[in-house]
Structure 1
Amino acid sequence: MKQLLKISALLMVMLLTSCADQHSLQKYYVDNQDNADFISIDIPASVITLKDNVSAEDQEALKSLKKMNILAFKKNDTNGAEFLSEENKVKSILKNDKYIELMKFKDKGRNVVVKYEGDDNEIDEVVVFASDKEKGFALVRVLGDNMQPAKIANLAKNIADIDADGLKQFEGLLK
């Protein structure tokens, strides 16, 4: 009986310390938002508009979005080691079982992974991680209400239908 109690206590301590060591995406954002190698932008969903010819389903998916938090690492000639270190930290965070992969693709030398937190009926958070070995990476958290995986995936596929005029006000921040 004593041995069972000792084993239970040891397992409880291991469980608690493993949870405490685990980095969250929110903590990663907070820790790096003032880092000179990063650009941090919070964008309300209200500045994102779709072109007139999109489906009602895409419009409904956009209405379920509240805001986006963007954290981008700009790679240059002097921060290659930091780039690899930070990229590995993000990949490690996204390996957490709470993030479910929605899609993964490559485009023009960029690797893009879209994951979400929630269940099959309702998403709490969508995370987009895009990495380019030459330019750096971007980590986008999309927060909203009643986001549905299928509709968000469809919206992501039709992202070309976004009207960029609403985002022009942020253009200078990325240069």
Structure 2
Amino acid sequence: MKKIILIVFAMATLVACNSKPSLQEYLVKKENSAEFISASVPTNILFQNLENLSSEEKSSLQKIDKINLLALTKKKGEPILEEEREELRSILNQPDYQSLLNFSSGDREARLLFVGSEEKIDEMIFFGYDSELGLLLLRMRGNDVNANDIYQITQSAQNLDMTSMSGSFGKLIGELGQ
């Protein structure tokens, strides 16, 4: 009996040591770092003026629960920028993250990924990097989101009134532009 317990414990330890960090762990680890700009925003704060949208666009937007933002500007984090880029690449290259779009040109890259299936998307992730600006990570989590909802959200983005964002989130967006 002791051998079985010892074997189970050893296997559990091995699995725990070999597991790669998740995006959630990365976000939690970096959210209080002085170098990073971070925000966790419920979408009811962001999407207040939905009058100009179709009912299908409204329905798709309302399926998104929360958006996490993490940014590292070159100005604040130049010494660690490349290291953080590689760590995020490593996380996003794991099999759980399915690629929708990849762009790379010189010192810039952008990736749009999702977790789940086309019928039930659990998370949408945008990762962007520019050697002159820094890096940006956005993660949207929602309920019953599907590929059509993502299409509707991208279509509705041009019709949203972003001037109604709350003051603190607006300031955060301003910091990214500096």
Which TM-score applies when normalising by structure 1?
0.79
Structure 1 position 39 matched with structure 2 position 49: no
In 2: Cα distance, 1:83 partner to 1:161 partner: 34
RMSD (Å), alpha carbons: 2.7
Aligned length: 163
Amino acid of the structure 2 residue aligned with 1:61 = S
Paired with 2:170 and 2:62, the residues of 1 have a C-alpha distance of 23
Give the structure 1 partner of residue 74 of structure 2: 75
In structure 2, what is the equivalent of residue 99 of structure 1? 97
Q: Which of 115, 124, 127 is the aligned partner of 2:125?
A: 127
Cα-to-partner distance string for 1:146-165 (whole Å, 9 max, x where unaligned):
01123214423552222202
How big is each residue's C-alpha offset from its partner over 1:51-108, in whole Å with a ceiling of 9 and x where there is no partner?
54433332221010001111111112x743310110111111000111111223479x
Q: Which residue of the partner structure matches residue 4 of structure 2? A: none
- What is the letter of the counterpart of residue 173 of structure 1? L
Deviation track 1:27-63 (CA, whole Å, cap 9, x = no partner) reads: 1011111111101101111022255443333222101
1:55-70 alignment, distance < 5 Å: 55-70=54-69
Map 1:1-175; keep pairs closer than 5 Å.
16=15, 19-20=18-19, 22-49=20-47, 52-76=51-75, 79-105=77-103, 111-156=109-154, 158-169=156-167, 170-174=169-173, 175=175
Contact 1:102 1:149 in 2 (8 A): no
* Residues 48 and 162 in structure 1, CA contact (< 8 A), matched pair in contact too: no
C-alpha distance in 2, partners of 1:19/1:149? 33
Find the aligned partners of 1:142 and 1:160 in 2 and give their Cα distance.
18
3-state SS of paired residue (1:146): strand
1:67 partner amino acid: K
Contact kept, 8 Å, 1:129 with 1:138, in 2: the verdict is: yes
Which stretch shifts more, 149-158 or 96-105? 149-158
Shift in alpha-carbon separation, 1:161–1:81, aligned structure 2, 3 A: same
Residue type of the partner of 1:35? Answer: S
CA contact (8 A) 2:46 2:166 kept: no
Deviation at 1:13, TM superposition (A): 7.8
Aligned residue in 2 for 1:6: none
Unmatched tracts of structure 1, length 5 or more: 1-8
Structure 1 residues 159 and 131 mapped into 2: Cα distance closer, same or farther (>3 Å)?
farther
